[in-house]
Amino acid sequence: MHVETNAIDDTWKLITLKNDQNISIDILNYGARITNITVPDKDGKLENIVLSYADYKKYKNDPNYFGATVGRVAGRIANSKFELGGKTYILDANESNHHLHGGVNGLHQMIWKTQTFKTDSEVGVELQHNDSNMSGGYPGNIKITVTYKLNNDGELIIDYYAISDEDTILTLTNHSYFNLNGNLKRSINNHLVRLNSSYFVELDEELIPTGNKIKVDNTTFDFRDEQALKAGIETPQKQNQYAKNGYDHYFLLDHQKRNSVIVKEPNSGRIMTIETDQPGVVLYTGNNLDDTLELTERKSEKYLGVTFETQSSPASLEFDDFPNILLNANDPYQKRTSYKFSITDK
């Protein structure tokens, strides 16, 4: 197992984690983001399975949040405001009238401090950022730590820890776009997904939750028995149409089962299994991608990557029966999401 750090410039660093099976993961300290995950296919061919820019400097103005740690609040906050403790807080409006993924100067725009480590069982990097009171409009001085760990079981573990000196709101996630074909050879339309969720959250035409939780039965949102992502892309229902013919929806996880999400790509034989202690996941199929971005392997296009954003729900700021994002002063925020990479049996 191996971990190394390479300087891109005076402030940007790239940390590479590598295990004994030649799985390697690159993490950039700008945005605490994943820029590469190389894993073998069923024939042993090593290829990258995430979207990344060919030029690192493109991350400075990245509306797609490729691989980033996003927050303080992942997702959309309606009308860019919320109430807490009898006070109204105004946030950046960076998507029409709404606040998305922490705003203009969210965590994806920060340079994080790094500390690498290696043990007998894993290699990793701890990234730390202190966000000041009222940064982006959020109350509380908050210390945030994101730790990436890679082990020899082919598992990437992301641990999130934070503590604030005031009551605030927080839900963090990773925004990697996955494409298990490898090196972006094809779209994600034929990826097979099993997602243990009986309900998804209804959106309005501006992708803001209406407060309704809809049963997935007999819809393109039923992934309980595995289906291809093209179900909501090629034969979209009304909710898919709101998301530009795809998915950009929050699914409430049924946590009585292990393996919250399983993703398979039949051609490569790659499998990604996601486990999380978060209450839900946003499934987004890259509906806003176009052909203007120079990525590491090729130009971008719609449906070239899919995200699984494990998190609580910003809709809880308006609706009581949603997984809440409140963080009380001096209470630790601790969450974990893991991604295990494997291949089908030949």
CATH label of the domain that carries residue 82:
2.70.98.10
How many Cα atoms within 13 Å fall on the side-chain side of residue 325?
Answer: 28
Q: Give residues with Cβ within 8 angstroms of 60, minimum separation 6.
A: 30, 109
Q: Give residues with Cβ within 8 angstroms of 130, minimum separation 6.
A: 141, 142, 143, 144
Question: What is residue 185's three-state secondary structure?
Answer: coil
Distances (CA, A) of 133 to 72, 141, 210, 216: 12, 4, 30, 40
Distance between CA atoms of residues 175 and 28, nearest Å: 13
pLDDT of residue 345: 76
End-to-end CA distance of the chain: 26
pLDDT of residue 259: 75
Q: 151-189, pLDDT tens digit by residue?
A: 999 999 999 999 999 999 999 999 999 999 999 999 999
Q: Which H or E element spans position 77?
A: strand 76-77
Q: Which residues of the chain have pLDDT under 70?
A: 256-258, 346
pLDDT of residue 257: 65
Model confidence pTM above 0.75 = yes
Q: How many domains is the chain built from?
A: 1
| The two structure tokens encoding residue 231 | 């179900």
Structural domain of 82: 2-343
pLDDT of residue 255: 77
Catalytic residues: 175, 309
